[in-house]
Structure 1
Amino acid sequence: MTSSPSALLGALDPTSDRAVFRQIADHLREAIDKGRFTEGAKLPSEAELVEHYGVSRMTVRNAISILQGEGLVHAEHGKGVYVRPRPPVRRLASDRFARRHREQGKSAFTVEAEAAGSRPEVDQLEVREERPSQDIAARLGGARKVLVRRRRYLLDGRPVEFASSHLPLDLARNTPIAQPNPGPGGIYARLEKLGHRLERFEEEVRARMPAPAEVKTLRLAAGVPVIHLIRTAYDTEGRAVEVCDTVMAADAYVLAYQLPAE
């Protein structure tokens, strides 16, 4: 049972020049942000909101549509409108690629999942040889052919990111990296075993709205943006040995970085 709207929501301001449906959306958003409606909670019904605000059903639906577009709520046909869960995963940027994790046989995603107390899974795995895009080729020092590893990552059954690793073909062909399961510690552990000791990673991060295929792959709700991260791994000889192009559901991640002050 949901509480009465009058106990959780404010009243309309008749002197405001802000449209009524936007005021209602503001009230509902504030109630969600302040925890009056928690994750998974059902919002008041259309009938309850109509009665509380003294407006038409269309006005209420327009307000709900705004929240759906922001990714805050989702509608279940015949049941109602619910606050969307937003489980954060804290990415430990200064730690997740630490060598000690690889030596323990853990990939970066496994480290992240354990830190979040979640169950990691990988599916939609594809390994193939390709000609790289101009951008990937440039990042890899002019590589003409690459081995690409594409995969989707899930936490507790929920898709949270899709990644494509691009490695120079002369480096990865006929090695465990070309196998579906490269072994403990993932491809970075295999690279180091092949003599390419990793020295540093460079990451570029930006936020954007998802493409239709990304919405489908990550099962994104309307209005949820993605984090687009491109990481380049370098060995101690200064060679770029991998470029990883990753698209993440923005509502599932908190990017946490430690930056030195000197």
Structure 2
Amino acid sequence: MAQPRYQQIADDIRRRIEAGVLPAGAPLASETEMVAEYGAARETVRKAMATLRAEGLISTAKARGSFVRPRWPVRRLGMDRYRVETRQRDEQPAEKATSFTKDQGIDWSAYTMDKDFAEVPADEQLAELLQVPAGEMLLRRHFVFRSHGVPQQISTSYLLLDMVGGTPVADPANEPWPGGSIAQLATLDVVVDQVREQVRTRMPTPEEARVLGIGDSVPVLTITRTMLADGRPVEAAVDIVLPGDRVELDYTIDM
């Protein structure tokens, strides 16, 4: 049985992308141009483009057209990735690092972030995660982590305001901080000794898709993280959001 026409068009454009004829960032022909090139109906061309978007090969921006998406190296998330932060806390090595720079394989100079701090009351979810009453005041820190200027991760984390208020940890001017939250809390004599994570996948919100540059057809990986010190929750991240096509979970389970 012959392939549907839209699939034939998608296959042809996919081959061009994979062969490098259409490199990362290259604009695709307009819808009208494709209708003429392939001798196909406009709806058939739209279906072909939707197929390529669903595969994460192209992205479409309103009033700008469609472009070939860059293929980023896959970031591996393993169980040991926070150890680089405990080393920053315990050993204070000359080379600055966080779990993000380790996962990305980048130097500190290539790491930048957007940041926004605010004091907010705990909602029911945060109250449960941090084991505090609803309405307890928290410091919310919203970050966009960048590697070589490219957004790779969104993180919204919360700290107990009565613990960090008025300290350097609450000053956004001190970000990025080598060792991240683990090293920051250590300056307040709070030693993180356990990290819990819940991992889910979902489609991105329009704002997440815009910030991460992934369009609305690439799923995201979300991590709800709780850091504990001597059994007490001291930080909650709700959520850490990563593009699903740039992340690989890497775990070893000893039996």
- So what's the TM-score if we normalise by structure 2? 0.78
Q: CA deviation at 1:247?
A: 1.5
* 1:162–1:19 CA distance, 2 compared to 1 (3 A): same
Q: CA deviation at 1:82?
A: 4.1
Q: 1 CA distance for matches of 2:156 and 2:129? A: 14
1:233-254 CA distances to partner (integer Å, 9 max, x unpaired)? 111x111111112122223x22
* 1:33–1:254 CA distance, 2 compared to 1 (3 A): farther
* Structure 2 gap ranges (5+): none
Q: Which position in structure 1 is the counterpart of 2:87?
A: 100
Q: Percent identity?
A: 36
Q: Which position in structure 2 is the counterpart of 1:67?
A: 52
Q: Which position in structure 1 is the counterpart of 2:117?
A: 127
Task: Give runs of aligned pairs for residues 166-177 of structure 1, distance below 5 A.
Answer: 166-177=158-169
Q: 2 CA distance for matches of 1:208 and 1:90? A: 18
- State the aligned residue count: 244
Q: Verify the 8 A CA contact 2:88 2:183 in the aligned structure 1.
A: no
Q: 1 CA distance for matches of 2:124 and 2:187? A: 29
* Structure 1 gap ranges (5+): 1-14
2:225 aligned with 1:240: no
The residue identity in structure 1 corresponding to 2:76 is: R
Instruction: State the structure with more CA Rg.
Output: 1
Aligned residue for 2:82, secondary structure, equals coil
Aligned residue for 1:198, secondary structure, equals coil
Q: CA deviation at 1:223?
A: 1.1
Q: Which position in structure 2 is the counterpart of 1:261?
A: 254
Q: CA deviation at 1:145?
A: 1.9
The residue identity in structure 2 corresponding to 1:108 is: S
Q: Which position in structure 2 is the counterpart of 1:109?
A: 100
Q: Which position in structure 2 is the counterpart of 1:6?
A: none
Aligned residue for 1:170, secondary structure, equals helix
Aligned residue for 2:140, secondary structure, equals strand
Q: CA deviation at 1:219?
A: 3.1
- Higher mean C-alpha deviation, range 176-185 or range 143-152: 176-185
Q: Which position in structure 2 is the counterpart of 1:226?
A: 220
Q: Verify the 8 A CA contact 1:89 1:112 in the aligned structure 2.
A: no
Aligned residue for 2:105, secondary structure, equals helix
Aligned residue for 2:9, secondary structure, equals helix
Q: 1 CA distance for matches of 2:232 and 2:254? A: 28
Q: Which position in structure 2 is the counterpart of 1:137?
A: 127
Task: Give runs of aligned pairs for residues 28-47 of structure 1, distance below 5 A.
Answer: 28-29=13-14, 32=17, 39-40=24-25
- Higher mean C-alpha deviation, range 34-43 or range 181-190: 34-43
* 1:82–1:229 CA distance, 2 compared to 1 (3 A): same
The residue identity in structure 1 corresponding to 2:194 is: R
Q: 1 CA distance for matches of 2:200 and 2:185? A: 27
2:140 aligned with 1:148: yes
Q: Which position in structure 2 is the counterpart of 1:9?
A: none
- So what's the TM-score if we normalise by structure 1? 0.76
- Higher mean C-alpha deviation, range 222-231 or range 59-68: 59-68
Aligned residue for 2:236, secondary structure, equals strand
2:7 to 6, 14, 22: 22
1:146-198 CA distances to partner (integer Å, 9 max, x unpaired)? 11111111122222221111112222122221111164423311212322212
